[in-house]
Amino acid sequence: MAGQESFETVNKCKTRLMRGGKGAPMIFLHGARGASAWLPFMDKLAETFELIVPEHPGFGGSDTPPWLDNVGDLAYFYLDLIDHLGLDGVHVVGTSLGGWIAAEIAVRDTHPLATLTLVAPAGIHVKGVAKGDVFMWSAEEIMKRLFHDPKLAEKALAQPVPEAEVMIQAKNRLALAKLGWQPRLYNPDLYKWLHRISVPTLILWGDDDKVIPPQYGPAFAELIPGARLEVIDKCGHLPQIERADAFVAKITAFITEAAR
């Protein structure tokens, strides 16, 4: 199954979406590398949920609107998108940059949300625990540090990259720099407001995350009331890719339990 592509215009920003499956609505917010393709983990989630995968404003096939200055702008945009799509009881899942956006959404307004899942999110700073500096790493270094299993990185690096994808990744890197260059991938004020999140929250982390270290997981869990932290073993920064079955199983089980 492949998600159906469509475009929605919200706040004068034409936004690319992929959509598939049936069930309760779930929005998946991608990380810095974007969401140009419908991936196997999306198929798995779409077996249970109506999965909606937007490309953030500034990324991929979406417009770069003049109002886009920071992650807070994206949080308000997604609240407007949820309203535009007529969704309620939405399960929001965000990974890395998308996890940061998801947290910023939830501190502003949880009324349209049913649950929140943050997967190795950026957004806060833990004193003494440095993140990997993705802005200073080469493309090859980034790929090698995304995974626990070096064979996955080698396989990805061996694949030819179409010119169109090269251009998309250049656009995505520019958007990421605009959103997270200074301070590096966090909002100095976010930690003060995470207590406002009032929906069931799952925090997922790979135990061998070299981009945002697993020590950030307990920090998020302490700041979000009632949050559950789960660690996926033998896994790097992309559990949805490296450990897709465990990723989907943990999210599905969490949402099923939250609905009881």
| Residue listed under structure tokens 């998309």 | 168
Q: Angle, to 10 degrees, between the axis of helix 97-108 and the axis of helix 71-84? A: 70
- The type of residue at 51 is L
Q: What is the pTM of this model?
A: 0.98
- Please name the residues in contact with 136: beta carbons below 8 A apart, sequence gap of 6 or more: none
The pLDDT averaged over each successive group of 10 residues in the chain (260 residues) is 91 98 97 96 98 98 98 98 97 98 98 98 97 95 97 95 94 97 97 98 98 98 98 98 98 95
Rounded Cα distance, 246 and 5, in Å: 27
Q: Give the chain's domains with CATH numbers.
A: 4-258 (3.40.50.1820)
